[in-house]
Structure 1
Amino acid sequence: MITGHTRIYGIVADPIHHVKTPEEMNVHFAAMGHDGVLVPFHVRPPELAGFMDSLRGMQNFAGLIATVPHKTAMLAICDEVVGDAARIGAVNAVRRDPDGRLIGAMLDGRGFVSGLQAEGVSLTDMDACLLGAGGAGAAIAFALAEAGVARLTIVNRSIDKARDLARRVKDTYPATRVDAGLPDTPRRDLIVNATSLGLRADDALPLDDHAFRAGQIVAEAIMEPELTPLLALAYDRGARIHFGRPMLRHQIRLMAQHMGALPPSDESA
C-alpha cells in the first residue's frame, strides 16, 4: 500500500527493461516492514544531470540505484562519495539527505564477490580475467583483488582505460598482479563479463577467444537475459557458469542500508 508517508526510491538506466532491482528491493522492503517503494526511471545520458538535480527538492525521495550506462557519470553528480567509490570511479547507490545533498557509494564489486563466495567459490590465488573497465568492471576489479586473486587481467576496447584501471587496482592491492591484456581464455580460472554486451539479442560476444574449458568459471554481471550468449557458449564447452543476478541479491541489503532504509540499529548487520 502506497500512502503519503511512503518513501520513494528509484533505479535509473538506459535501457530500463532488463533491470531486476525493483522486484528484489521491493520484496526486501516488505520483509523489513519498511514503508518504501522503488520504481524504474528510463533516463538517457544527456538528461541524467537534470534528472538528478530535480530529485534534490523532492522531500519524500530517499535514494536511487544507478546502472548502465550511468554509473561513471553519477560520480561527478554526487556531492559526496563514501567507501572506495572515488578510487573505482563510479557510483551505483545514491542517498538523498534531508538537505538535498546526494551521497554516493559503489557496491557492485562487493555484491559480485559475495555472490561467488555464497556458491562455494574461493577466489584466493585465482588467475582471473575481467572483460570491461567501466563502472561495474572497476568495482569488480577492486573486489577481486581484495578477495585475493593472484592475477587479474583487464580486457577493454580502450587499452588506455584498461591500463588506468589496472594501475589503480595495483596501487591499492600490490600483492595482486594486475595487467591490461588479452583474454587468453584457456589459461584463466575465472572470466567475468562486466560489459553491457549480452543485453541485446544482436550483441556480439564480449571476447573473441572462445576456448572455454572444464574447470574454469565464466561469470556475468548482466541479469537479463539470465543465460547470455557468453554463458551459453561457455556451458556448452564444459565451463561452470555463474549468473548475474546473485550480484544484485547480495548487495540489496547494502543498497538499502546506504539509502537509509534500514533502522540505525541494523546498520552494522
Structure 2
Amino acid sequence: MIADPIDQVRTPEIFNKVLPLCGVDAVMVPLHVSPENLVDTVRALFRSPTTRGIVLSIPHKAAAAALSDRCSKGAATANAVNAIRKNAAGELEGELFDGLGFVKSMERYSMEYRGKRVLLIGAGGAACAIATALAAADVSRIAIFDPETEKAEQLASSVGRQYGVHTSIQSDNDPTGFDLVINASPLGLKLSDPLPVPPERLDADAQVCDILMKNQPTPLLQAAMSRGNAVLPGFDMLILQTPLFFEFFGVPGAAEMLRRDDSIVREMLFPAELMDMVRRTA
C-alpha cells in the first residue's frame, strides 16, 4: 500500500484482518512514498516474486496510470489507477476500483444516483474514479469543482467524451441545485481545513458524501446531518471494492468471504456515531 501521507489509509487493516482468516500467508505493508520516488519504488517491489500487487492512494493514482503498461477503459478515462499487478508477460496492469466501490456503497444504503445532478469536489484520482463510475451509471449531469482548474477541465472533457454525460467544471463550491454532493478532495484530513462546501447552501433533500478515511464523521457530514440531509461516509466505498482488489490479485477466497459477510471489517472501521448506518443494512 503506497500513499503520501500514509496515516489516513485503512486498506492494510482490512487486508491484514481478512487474509489470515482465509488461510492466506500474506500481508499488506503500508509504505509512505513521496511522488518523486514512486516509479523507482513500484519497479523495485515488482522485482520480488513475492509481491502480488500494489494498492495506491493520494496522490499517486494518476502517476500509477502512466506507469502501467495496460489499463481498463474506466482507468484510462479517469487517467488513474489504484491497483497494479504484474502479468505473466511481465507487464504492469492497472485497474481503478474506487468508483465501483462508491456506487456499490450508495446502493447498499438505497441512495439513488441515477438521473441525479452531481457536484463533485476534487479532481484527483478518487474523484476521477467516482466521476467515471457515475457517468457509466446514468446520472443526469456532473459538475466538478477543483481549485486546479486545468485538472477539472481535463476530467470533465474525458468523462463527457467517453460516456456522453453532460460534464462541466464548476466555478465555485456552491452546492445549491445539486441532488448529490461528494467531497473527493483532501479537505477534512486536517481538522483546521475549511469545509468543502457551505452546508447552509445544501438543498433540503441533497445527499452528501465524504470519502475521507479519517476524522469520520467529518465536519461536512456533521453539518449535513444536523440539517437532516442523508449522508454517506467513505468506509463502505473501501469495503465494497476490497473483494475486487482480492480478485485482481488472485485471492478469490478472500473476495468471496467478504461478499458473504463483511461485518467484521465494517465494525472495525465505522466510528460509534455512524454505527446506526451499519445496523440499518445488517
Q: TM-score range by the shorter chain?
A: 0.7 to 0.9
CA offset digits 1:114-145 (Å, max 9, x no partner): 11111111211111110111111111001111
Deviation for aligned residue 1:33? 3.1
What is the number of equivalent residue pairs in this alignment? 255
Q: 1:247 aligns with which of 237, 250, 271?
A: 237
Q: 2:217 aligns with which of 215, 220, 227?
A: 227
TM-score by length of 1: 0.88
8 Å contact from structure 1 (residues 212, 238) kept in 2: no
Pairwise CA RMSD of aligned residues?
Answer: 2.0
Asked whether 1:107 is paired with 2:70, we answer no
Q: Secondary structure at the match of 1:160?
A: helix
Instruction: Tell me the amino acid that sits aligned with residue 251 of structure 1.
Output: Q
Aligned 1:202-241 pairs, distance under 5 A: 202-208=192-198, 210-241=200-231
Asked whether 1:61 is paired with 2:64, we answer no
Deviation for aligned residue 1:15? 1.0
Deviation for aligned residue 1:59? 1.1
8 Å contact from structure 1 (residues 213, 238) kept in 2: no
**Greater percentage in strand:** 1
**Greater percentage in helix:** 2
Q: Distance in 2 between matches of 1:42 and 1:166?
A: 30
Any unmatched runs of 5+ in structure 1? 1-10
CA offset digits 1:17-50 (Å, max 9, x no partner): 1111011122332343322211211111111111
Q: Distance in 1 between matches of 2:222 and 2:36?
A: 34
Any unmatched runs of 5+ in structure 2? 260-282
Q: Which residue of 2 aligns with 1:177?
A: 166
Deviation for aligned residue 1:88? 0.8
Q: Distance in 2 between matches of 1:237 and 1:122?
A: 19
Aligned 1:92-241 pairs, distance under 5 A: 92-97=82-87, 100-174=90-164, 176-181=165-170, 182-208=172-198, 210-241=200-231
Q: Which residue of 1 aligns with 2:20?
A: 30
Q: Distance in 2 between matches of 1:208 and 1:160?
A: 23
Q: Distance in 2 between matches of 1:18 and 1:53?
A: 24
Residue identity over aligned pairs, in percent, reads 35
Q: Distance in 2 between matches of 1:155 and 1:210?
A: 18
CA offset digits 1:157-215 (Å, max 9, x no partner): 122321221121111221x3211113431311110011111112222222357412432
8 Å contact from structure 2 (residues 121, 196) kept in 1: yes
Asked whether 1:80 is paired with 2:66, we answer no
Q: Secondary structure at the match of 1:203?
A: coil
8 Å contact from structure 2 (residues 114, 139) kept in 1: yes
Q: Secondary structure at the match of 1:214?
A: coil
